[in-house]
Amino acid sequence: MNDGENDVEELRARLTEAEGNLHAIFSGEIDALLLADEDGERRVYTLRSADAPYRALVERMQEGAATLSVTGDVVYCNQRFADLVRAPLEQVFGASIGRFLPPAEGEILRAMLEHGSGRYQTHLMLNGREATEVQVTLSRIVLDDVEHRTLILSDISSLARAQRENRSKDEFLAMLAHELRNPLGAIQGAVHALTLMNRTGEPMAQRATGIIKRQVVHMARLVDDLLDVGRAVTGKIVLKRGPFNFAEAVKSQITTIASGDPNSQARIDLVAEPVWVHGDVVRLEQIAGNLISNALKFTRGDGVVSVFVGREGDDAVLRVADQGIGIPADMLPKIFELFVQAHHTIDRSRGGLGIGLTLVRRLAEMHGGTVDASSEGDGKGATFVVRIPTVAAPKAGTALKRDGNGAELMHAFESRRVLLVDDNHDSREMYRAVLLAHGHDVRDAPNGEHALALLQGMTSAEALDVAFIDIGLPGGMDGYELARRIRKHPRGADVRLVALTGYGFPEDRLRSKQAGFAKHLVKPVEPDALQCELSAVGRRAS
């Protein structure tokens, strides 16, 4: 073979090798090339596409991703997108995106495609029916000088279901509170009536009414804590802030607790120094009340509960220490968790739902503060310390007002004409007895229609002063609607409307105000609170 033939064969072999290399490159069998430059230095050149990692990311992401034409046809989609619309990939490519979304939302989709961006929540369509709930996010991109749209489908069905369940839970708790507060209101009214009738001071009757009254207060506090802790952990409590002396708030709670259980053998040793904070007086009283009540509950016999409130550095400090059963070391890190209880006994002698300390911690945090617990172990007592940022005391002569929950009670000495509307017979009967015992003229009704009929039958000389109205009335007319109708009635324009209800959420109070109620009282209602509203009639012009 001559030199020319050798050269041809060599070229043919090199060409065959090059074709093989190109085939291997195109088929993805080669990841890199090792080449020598003119200086003999070897260099490595990778053959993977620069966008390979991003393609892998898109293919493996948990959201459905698609590239659309400006008219809404699917140019590309990942496997997750095909899974969400429940169609094979080959059937999704080239299909209109509108095929997978509700027809009624065509205008929304067209507007988003035209604008090039947008986001909304909807349901995917499967065999003409709504299926998975998704969030649709669309944005504009340019590929090789051609405008496209990227579309992301996020499966939010679990989130939406959780939100619905949370709303249902809130509605259930509101209804539970209403149903519990109604009988508590009736019991409290009955206790007051028994107290008024027991003029002879018979000891057994006094003890019985005292027991009932204390248990009503205890039940009411449990209901309030149950509702508040749910709202606190979800951020739904709104604080009504103002400057006040924290020491006075703690003293007020101790007085309330002591009067609620005069037979308690434990003693409260209080050291109170003036210290001012900017916070919600009702919520900070709630913190003090929970901690002091717990300390008394867990203190045996004639033990001592030590309470200190005052200033330490830049903090207002509340320290509650008891000589009770203590807290095991393994429980201290989780004592503030929801539904956690340090001691479980079959007799449940210590009671509680495991929510009070969770509420204390959340309320302290909402005030920019902290709460800590310490104990040396079983039988060695426990100490709780709350720290809240302090503020300067107001200048002398500054008048501080408390909200409706802390208003001074004024007893009415004049007889008032009262309309009492409540579908709970026992509650209505007991509140009526209390009002009659104080010399008031009372008309009562079980529903809105009956109440309006009573109002219509009154003469101008029988004009009402106050109407106490339950919100959850039967018969298609709730308390809000009844209030609006009374306000529009010729004889109802000047009536003081007071909601008397088991619904106590902030939104319930707002609805009461919008319906024309002057006050929103949550059951069980102390007789003094009724008297306060009756006496307020004479102060309407002020």
Q: Say if 404 falls within a structural domain.
A: no
CATH number for the domain spanning 275: value is 3.30.565.10
Domain boundary among 340, 361, 394: 394
Quote the pLDDT of residue 7: 66
Quote the pLDDT of residue 29: 67
Q: Within this chain, do residues 387 and 415 fall inside the same structural domain, yes or no?
A: no
Q: Say if 523 falls within a structural domain.
A: yes
Q: Within this chain, do residues 272 and 344 fall inside the same structural domain, yes or no?
A: yes
Q: Within this chain, do residues 368 and 253 fall inside the same structural domain, yes or no?
A: yes
Q: Are 284 and 246 in contact (CB under 8 A)?
A: yes
Q: DSSP characters for 5-21?
A: HHHHHHHHHHHHHHHHH
Residue 81: both structure tokens together: 């997108």
3-state secondary structure at position 44:
strand
Quote the pLDDT of residue 412: 37
By 3-state DSSP, what share of the chain in percent is helix, strand and coil, each rounded to 5? 45, 25, 35
Tell me: the pLDDT tens digits for 406-429? 333 333 347 889 999 998 887 888
Q: Within this chain, do residues 360 and 441 fall inside the same structural domain, yes or no?
A: no
Q: Within this chain, do residues 348 and 268 fall inside the same structural domain, yes or no?
A: yes
Q: Cα torsion for 90, 91, 92, 97, to the nearest 10°?
A: 160
Q: Are 303 and 325 in contact (CB under 8 A)?
A: no
Exposure string (b/e) for 440-449, b if CB count within 10 Å is 16 or more? bebbbbbbbe
Alpha helices in 321-390 (DSSP H): 356-366
Burial of 222 (C-beta count, 10 Å sphere; 0-12/13-18/19+): middle
Q: Say if 402 falls within a structural domain.
A: no
In this structure, which amino acid lies at residue 289? G
117-to-63, 105, 162, 314 alpha-carbon distances in Å = 17, 16, 28, 51
Domain boundary among 363, 394, 425: 394
What is the rounded distance in angstroms from the CA atom of residue 340 to the CA atom of residue 331? 9
Quote the pLDDT of residue 398: 45
3-state secondary structure at position 347:
coil
Quote the pLDDT of residue 275: 94
Q: Are 509 and 520 in contact (CB under 8 A)?
A: yes
Q: Say if 161 falls within a structural domain.
A: no
Q: Within this chain, do residues 381 and 421 fall inside the same structural domain, yes or no?
A: no
Quote the pLDDT of residue 25: 63
Domain boundary among 86, 121, 155: 155
Domain containing residue 26:
3-46
Residue 410: both structure tokens together: 């004024």
Residue 123: both structure tokens together: 């349901």
Q: Within this chain, do residues 484 and 516 fall inside the same structural domain, yes or no?
A: yes
CATH number for the domain spanning 121: value is 3.30.450.20
Counting Cα atoms < 13 Å in the Cβ hemisphere of 89 gives 10
Q: Say if 403 falls within a structural domain.
A: no
Quote the pLDDT of residue 208: 67
Q: Within this chain, do residues 385 and 255 fall inside the same structural domain, yes or no?
A: yes
DSSP code for 105 = G
Burial of 504 (C-beta count, 10 Å sphere; 0-12/13-18/19+): buried
Q: Within this chain, do residues 435 and 388 fall inside the same structural domain, yes or no?
A: no
Quote the pLDDT of residue 400: 45
Q: Say if 228 falls within a structural domain.
A: yes
Quote the pLDDT of residue 410: 35
Q: Within this chain, do residues 100 and 233 fall inside the same structural domain, yes or no?
A: no
Residues of the chain scoring pLDDT < 70: 1-8, 18, 21-33, 35, 44-54, 125-130, 168-176, 178-179, 196-202, 204-208, 210-211, 214-215, 218, 222, 226-227, 229-236, 259-264, 338-354, 395-413, 538-542
Q: Say if 42 falls within a structural domain.
A: yes
The total number of structural domains that make up the chain: 4
Cis check: omega of the bond before 524, within 30 degrees of 0: yes
Q: Within this chain, do residues 336 and 321 fall inside the same structural domain, yes or no?
A: yes
| C-beta neighbour count of 425 within 10 angstroms | 11
Q: Say if 399 falls within a structural domain.
A: no
CATH number for the domain spanning 481: value is 3.40.50.2300
Q: Within this chain, do residues 250 and 377 fall inside the same structural domain, yes or no?
A: yes
